[in-house]
Structure 1
Amino acid sequence: MATVNLTGKWKEDRSENKEAFLKKMGTPEEKVATFAAFKPACEMIHEGENITLKMLTPDGKTMSETKFTIGTPYTPVLPDGVPSLGELISTFVDGGKVMLTKTTSEKVDFNDYTYLEPNGDLKVVQKSGDVTSTSFWTKM
């Protein structure tokens, strides 16, 4: 059972290395600066092993919603609300963090991961290969 709780409404306060991470993830060059400047908000509902993540527009409307259960692989939903085809994400709790890792053929890929670490605020670390981006979120 999860020992952390991510419930709350969160707004990205600041980020480090976001542009390099977006480029590594294949974001079109003409959109990198716009996406890097965007300060997203989200609402998370964490009940037991189940988490609902809603990405929000600046005026509070839901852009996309992803539901997952810790310990059960799921198909991620892109910011435009469309499921990411051919990709599975595994989730587990490691210490005080909720880890999300790409999974292929039952193998977890620790070269590409995201972790969410609540510590009053929320720290989100995303890694792809040799590029890591860290963002810090505050409760709304």
Structure 2
Amino acid sequence: MSALPFARYNSPDLEKQFAVNASKHQYQTTDGVTTGPSPHVLNAGQVDKDKPAPPKKLDNGEFTALGSLRAQLTGLQDDINKFLTDRMEHAKRKKAKLEQDKDRDSRINKEIKDLLDGGDDDNNGDDSNQ
């Protein structure tokens, strides 16, 4: 029995283990989902010259040890890339919400300060009633 590759992500708020499931297709190919040029680049007419060759097979159809390792690592890399992309998107959404909250709090604090300083803001800057 051979050992399967794995990876571990550690951060102050999270620990995640990534493991290969050799029975799933994504760990049996070197055609990764998250590797290579983006669809935008390919749609612009570029050709993926660096695309990896498929994993090598023995005469009996099984992968060679190195071919199997290459495929497993490609699947593992996809898992990690997807996870990190999701984490970055979550962080961006969280940052945007914090900025919105900060802007809202600043507006509220300004309104409170203006009211405490004697302004009532009922005329919205319209001096025609004076």
TM over 0.5: no
- Structure exhibiting the larger radius of gyration computed from Cα positions: 2
Give TM-score, length-normalised by structure 2. Answer: 0.24
Q: Which has the higher contact order (CA 8 A, sep 6+)?
A: 1
More strand by share: 1
Using structure 1 for the length normalisation, give the TM-score.
0.23
Determine which structure has the larger helix proportion and give its number. 2
